[in-house]
């Protein structure tokens, strides 16, 4: 068997890969090796360069520098297809399957075997090969079953079966366990171990460090687009990995704030629960306070914000804004009570691209500018919009004839913030307020946040950049899998402890195995 | 919650069949002639053109596009047939019609797949251009078909009326194409998620293009069958045929959002619409309520499709705490 052969060269070697996007260098020379039959864990904080590295490996992006070789041959894929042909299978977190087709059709969709000279699918061969592949991943399902009727874990196994059909030498699994139940995770591990014994090399990217330690022989830690270290599992433990992951210098400067949080509670959340989304979430935010929410991708940060703002239904729990309980949270009721919500997706949810700045600012609060039944006073609206535009330091004061789409990302964000400020919110939920905007605009957003709390507002700040949360918050809550896993006062901010809390395992340890 | 959603989806899928049953019961109780074999054969023959159109439309809808030009294609190729091909044997006439209509479909396909124009707009454009050309070549006068073509209406194959044979042939070819060839399965993949299909390496543009070619060719075929039945066409010929075709396909379970459905449904939908129309004639209903009934049926079809797609989307949703949902 293959395992008896002593591999004398790595299956895959990556040497000094660099990559920049729009002049910003995101990878500073990433190097690692993958040996046949081993699983290599790849871990790092949000933005450490894991995804970019894997996208280069999978042919999605091309590197600016460095070299890769696969089984001794130079490897430089120009497209995902080329990567696939070379034997690299990339299983993304978002699976690439068609729910309206059967398992077997999904397996062979790009290269259906035809029967002899006629253009018909050789269904007999397809069925037989599909059964073989499904057996290899321990999936006991009829190949004719629609993928739409499969559970998430089963779909993942179908993707792996597809990779086996393509004769993959390297299998990249991106966050494979996040949306699986514990039982499905165990099944996945069994398959991974089987593939290892056949000489396949596995790259296992995950925030679930317990899973990484369980299935990987070696772990590579990335930070700031470079490898911090690679070591054998035996010589590592979860706290050691976490301390390797953090330690980034805080480069952003956060403006000082002159006021302290007040006594009165602006937002009180108690026992907020929605099956599959959040479990028993309770916390307070006081007037004049910034509370940061820190969590990894898929931890349920934005989903929690949506629940609080009333965008998604809640099963149980209460929400109070400045002492008034929201009986049935809807966005309208939340807004009336003094909540504001800056979504992470300003392009689709926050802004009308073809409307002027004035119209964008006034849109959600036209009532305020009513001059008669059904009429809106243009003059008052223009004046107020102009004031707000100055307040958020918008780059232009031509608020009437500048369209939102002509503004930079940072200025668009300021328009969305101004729109909400018009309502003088008591509690402002900011979801990724500085994503995709330049450093100068970030500073201005930070100043707006400070000004807001100095005037007695409360801010709930969600950000995947931990320095940002640490730099702005009076208190930090950590969330994982829809549960609050830690709370830190400003005096006790500690990156390592916060990251450890955000990674704390949540959920049933092991489900009853039937 | 999961199982409740699935039951709702099943009910939604059953809605058109329940509607069909209701139509049979209502008209059957109002007239003795309605539920007879002769009348039913009649319904199938009358439904033939819309059935063929709907089968073609199914290909386009499966890719999440739409073809509004099919009625215009019927009219234009009908004019070509009646004005220029009166003297040729009908098989040659049919071939020319099929080639011409496939070319018109190719224009649609090129506009949508390769130039990236929204299919609603692109095919609305070809609708007006096609009608415009047809009206100018015919001077908007009636176009008559020769006996060689109209006699086909009375022809039979093994005792089966020619229109039914035509539908059967089209149906079998379309079904095999969609279900038994790689192209057919890839149509479903492209319609479900074009980005994913492209990422998987499927030639998404080419697939969309050919679906428009098929829709065009079958519009020509539908026009030919219809020509044999009515003998002459006027400037109003084929008007709003696209809506009957879309309604028939959607009633049969093909989604306007792409990726779901098939040609069996198109056949069923066309029969349903024709059965309702036939029933209204038989009970001597006021002709002005016909459009209301058709509109009602279309409304039901589209509402069911919208609800079902919404539910399916919800079922596909992923959760942060999956162990609480399963």
B-interface mutation test, from A81, A82, A110, A296, most B Cβ less than 10 A away:
A110
Are residues A328 and A287 in contact, defined by beta-carbon separation less than 8 angstroms?
A: no
CB atoms within 10 A of CB A251: 7
Contacts (Cβ under 8 Å, ≥6 apart) of B215: B56, B57, B59, B60, B67, B70, B105, B108
Residue B4 at interface with chain A, using a CB cutoff of 8 Å: no
CB of B325 within 8 Å of a chain A CB? The answer is: yes
Neighbours of B296 (CB within 10 A): 13
Q: Express each pLDDT in B36-89 by its tens digit.
A: 888 889 899 999 999 999 999 999 999 999 999 999 999 999 999 988 887 888
Chain A contact probe: residue of B206, B320, B326 with most A CBs at under 10 A: B320
Q: What is the C-alpha separation between A435 and A31, in angstroms, rounded?
A: 28
In degrees and rounded to multiples of 5, residue A229 shows phi and psi of 180, 155
Dist. CA B285–CA B279, nearest whole Å? 9
Best B321, B323, B325 member to test A by mutation, with max A CBs in 10 Å, is B321
DSSP β-bridge partners for residue A431: A462
Q: Does residue B119 register a pLDDT over 70?
A: yes
Domains of chain B: residue spans and CATH: 32-312 (1.10.3470)
Greatest C-alpha distance within chain A: 86
Same domain, A294 and A319: yes
Same domain, A191 and A44: yes
Shared domain for A411 and A467, answered yes or no, is no
Q: What are residue A285's DSSP bridge partners?
A: A267
Q: Assess whether A270 and A217 both reside in one domain.
A: no
Supply the CATH number for residue A219's domain.
Answer: 3.40.50.300
Give contacts of B313 with chain A, Cβ < 8 Å.
none
Domain presence at residue A171:
yes
Structure tokens at A8: 């004398």
Please answer whether residues A506 and A480 qualify as being in contact, where contact means their C-beta atoms are separated by less than 8 angstroms.
Answer: yes
From residue A173, give the alpha-carbon distance in Å to each of A18, A36, A188.
22, 16, 11
- For residue A303, count CB atoms less than 10 angstroms from its CB and return exposed for 0-12, middle for 13-18, buried for 19 or more: buried
Q: Kindly determine whether residue A303 and residue B320, on different chains, have CB atoms separated by under 8 Å.
A: yes
| Cβ contact A81–B319 (<8 Å) | no
Is residue A311 one of the residues assigned to a domain? yes
Question: SS3 for B102?
Answer: helix
- What pLDDT, in 10s, does the model give residues A331-366? 889 988 999 998 887 766 678 888 888 888 887 777
**A321 phi/psi in degrees, rounded to 5:** -115, 115
Range of the domain at A317: 264-338+426-433+457-507
Domain identity same for A97 and A186: yes
A45 assigned to some structural domain:
yes
Chosen domain end from A178, A211, A245? A245
Helix H or strand E encompassing B105: helix B90-109
**Cβ–Cβ under 8 Å, residues A290 and A474:** yes
Chain B CA closest to residue A111: B182
User: What average pLDDT does range B22-45 have in this prediction?
Assistant: 88
Low-confidence stretches of chain A (pLDDT beneath 50): 1-5, 249-250, 510-514
From the list A123, A148, A276, the residue facing B319 with the nearest CB is A276
Q: Report which of residues B109 and A400 the model is more confident about.
A: B109
pLDDT computed for residue B73 by the predictor: 95
* Residue A446 lies inside a defined structural domain of this protein: no
Task: Check whether B2 has a pLDDT greater than 80.
Answer: no
**pLDDT score of A92:** 83
User: Where is the domain boundary, A217, A245, A273?
Assistant: A245
Angstroms from A112 CA to nearest CA on chain B: 6
Strand-pairing partners, residue A458, are: A427
CB A394 within 8 A of CB A414: yes
**Looking at the complex, does the CB of residue A179 fall below 8 Å from at least one CB of chain B?**
yes
Whole-complex ipTM = 0.84
C-alpha A377/C-alpha A367 separation (Å) is 10
Among A332, A378, A335, A340, residue whose Cα is nearest residue A358: A378
Residues A203 and A71 in one domain: yes
| Integer CA distances (angstroms), A332 to A232, A320, A360, A381, A457, in order | 54, 15, 18, 21, 19
Asked if B320 lies within 8 A of A300 by C-beta distance, the reply is yes
| Cα B252 to Cα B270: distance, rounded to the nearest angstrom | 8
In a domain, A212, yes or no: yes
Taking the C-alpha atoms of residue B19 and residue B210, their distance in angstroms, rounded to an integer, is 33
Average pLDDT (B90-105) is 93
CB pairs under 8 A between A and B: 93
Tokens of A128: 């037989």
Do A8 and A156 reside in the same domain of the chain?
yes
Q: Is A303 found in the same domain as A271? A: yes
Q: Say whether both A292 and A366 belong to one domain.
A: no
According to the model, what pLDDT value does residue A56 have? 92
Please say whether the beta carbons of A134 and A154 come within 8 A: no
Domain count across chain A = 3
Q: What integer pLDDT is reported at residue A352 of this predicted model?
A: 84
Residue A252 lies in a domain: no
pLDDT in the model for residue A509 = 53
Structure tokens at B136: 């100018």
**A318 plus A352 within the same structural domain:** no
B chain contacts of residue A123, beta-carbon cutoff 8 Å: 180
Cα maximum dimension of chain B: 73
Asked if the structure places residue A254 within a domain, the reply is no
Give the ranges where A350-494 is alpha helix by DSSP (H): 357-362, 378-391, 409-421, 439-454, 466-472
| Per-residue buried b or exposed e for A109-129, using 16+ beta carbons within 10 Å of the residue's own CB | bbebeeeeeeebbbeeebeeb
Q: Which of A367, A400, A424 is the last residue of a domain?
A: A424
Closest CA to A341 of A299, A391, A284, A303: A303
CB contact under 8 A, A110 and B200: yes
> Which string of DSSP letters, residue by residue, matches B223-250?
HHHHHHHHSEE-TTTTTTHHHHHHHHHH
Residue-wise pLDDT tens digits, B243-279? 889 999 998 889 888 999 999 999 999 999 999 888 8
pLDDT score for B75: 94
| pLDDT at B326 (0 to 100) | 60
Q: Are residues A292 and A363 in the same domain?
A: no
Note whether A115 and A171 are same-domain residues.
yes
Q: Is some CB atom of chain A closer than 8 A to the CB atom of B189?
A: yes
Q: Residue A24 domain-assigned? A: yes
């Amino acid at each position: 068997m293959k395992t008896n052969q002593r591999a004398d060269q790595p299956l895959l070697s990556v040497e000094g890969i660099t990559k920049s996007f729009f002049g910003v260098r995101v990878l500073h020379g990433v190097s690692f090796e993958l040996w046949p039959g081993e699983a290599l864990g790849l871990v790092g904080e949000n933005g450490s360069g894991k995804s970019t590295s894997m996208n280069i490996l999978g042919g999605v992006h091309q590197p600016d520098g460095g070299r890769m070789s696969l089984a001794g041959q130079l490897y430089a894929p120009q497209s995902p297809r080329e990567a696939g042909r070379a034997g690299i299978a990339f299983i993304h977190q978002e699976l690439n399957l068609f729910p309206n087709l059967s398992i077997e059709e999904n397996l062979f969709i790009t290269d259906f075997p035809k029967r002899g000279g006629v253009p018909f699918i050789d269904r007999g061969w397809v069925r037989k090969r599909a059964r073989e592949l499904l057996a290899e991943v321990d999936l006991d399902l009829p190949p004719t079953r629609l993928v739409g009727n499969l559970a998430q874990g089963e779909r993942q196994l179908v993707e792996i079966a597809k990779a086996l059909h393509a004769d993959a030498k390297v299998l990249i699994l991106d966050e494979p366990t996040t949306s699986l139940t514990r039982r499905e995770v165990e099944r996945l591990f069994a398959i991974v171990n089987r593939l290892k014994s056949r000489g396949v090399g596995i790259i296992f990217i995950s925030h679930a460090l317990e899973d990484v330690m369980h299935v990987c022989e070696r772990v590579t830690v990335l930070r700031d687009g470079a490898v911090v270290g690679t070591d054998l599992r035996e010589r590592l433990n979860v706290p050691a990995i976490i301390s390797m992951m953090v330690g980034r210098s805080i480069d952003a400067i956060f403006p000082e704030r002159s006021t302290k949080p007040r006594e009165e509670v602006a937002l009180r959340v108690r026992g907020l629960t929605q099956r599959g989304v959040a479990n028993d979430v309770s916390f307070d935010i006081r007037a004049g306070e910034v509370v940061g929410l820190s969590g990894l991708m898929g931890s349920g940060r934005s989903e929690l914000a949506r629940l609080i703002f009333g965008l998604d239904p809640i099963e149980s729990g209460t929400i109070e804004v400045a002492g008034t309980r929201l009986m049935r949270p809807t966005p309208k009721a939340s807004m009336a009570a003094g909540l504001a919500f800056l979504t992470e997706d300003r392009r689709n949810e926050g802004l009308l691209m073809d409307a002027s700045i004035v119209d964008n600012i006034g849109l959600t609060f036209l009532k305020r500018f009513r001059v008669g039944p059904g009429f809106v006073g243009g003059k008052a609206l223009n004046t107020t919009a102009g004031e707000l535009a100055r307040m958020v330091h918008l780059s232009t004061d031509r608020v009437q004839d500048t369209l939102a789409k002509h503004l930079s990302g940072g200025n668009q964000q300021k328009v969305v913030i101004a729109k909400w400020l018009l309502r003088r919110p008591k509690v402002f939920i900011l979801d990724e307020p500085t994503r995709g905007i330049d450093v100068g605009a970030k500073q201005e957003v930070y100043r707006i946040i400070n000004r807001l709390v100095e005037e007695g507002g409360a801010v709930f700040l969600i950000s995947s950049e931990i320095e940002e949360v640490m730099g702005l918050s009076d208190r930090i809550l950590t969330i994982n899998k829809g549960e609050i896993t830690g709370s830190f006062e400003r005096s006790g901010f500690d990156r390592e402890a916060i990251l450890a809390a955000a990674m704390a395992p949540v959920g049933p340890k092991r489900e009853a195995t039937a | 919650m999961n199982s409740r959603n699935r039951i709702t989806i099943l009910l939604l899928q059953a809605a058109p069949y329940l509607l069909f049953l209701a139509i049979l019961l209502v008209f059957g109780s109002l007239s003795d002639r309605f539920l007879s074999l002769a009348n039913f054969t009649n319904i199938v023959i009358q439904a033939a053109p819309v059935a063929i159109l709907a089968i073609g439309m199914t290909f386009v809808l499966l890719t999440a596009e739409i073809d509004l030009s099919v009625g215009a294609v019927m009219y234009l190729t009908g004019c070509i047939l009646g004005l220029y091909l009166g003297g040729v044997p009908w098989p040659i006439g049919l071939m020319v019609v099929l080639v011409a209509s496939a070319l018109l479909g190719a224009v649609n396909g090129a506009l949508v797949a390769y130039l990236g124009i929204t299919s609603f707009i692109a095919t609305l454009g070809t609708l007006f251009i096609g009608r415009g050309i047809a009206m100018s070549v015919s001077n908007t006068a009636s176009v008559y078909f020769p006996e060689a073509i109209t006699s086909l209406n009375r022809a039979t194959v093994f005792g089966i009326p020619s229109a039914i044979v035509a539908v059967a042939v089209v149906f079998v070819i379309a079904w095999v194409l969609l279900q038994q060839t790689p192209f057919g399965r890839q149509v479903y993949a492209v319609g479900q998620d074009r980005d994913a299909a492209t990422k998987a390496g499927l030639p998404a543009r080419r697939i969309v293009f050919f679906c428009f070619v098929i829709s065009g060719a079958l519009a020509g075929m539908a026009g030919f069958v219809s020509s044999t039945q009515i003998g002459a066409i006027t400037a109003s010929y084929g008007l709003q045929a696209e809506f009957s075709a879309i309604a028939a396909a959607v009633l049969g379970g093909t989604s306007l959002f792409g990726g779901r459905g098939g040609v069996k449904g198109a056949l069923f939908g066309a029969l349903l619409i024709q059965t309702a129309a036939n029933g209204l004639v038989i009970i001597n209903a006021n002709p002005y309520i016909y459009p209301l009934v058709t509109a009602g049926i279309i409304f039901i079809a589209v509402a069911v499709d919208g609800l079902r797609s919404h539910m399916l989307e919800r079922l596909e949703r992923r959760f942060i705490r999956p162990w609480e949902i399963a």
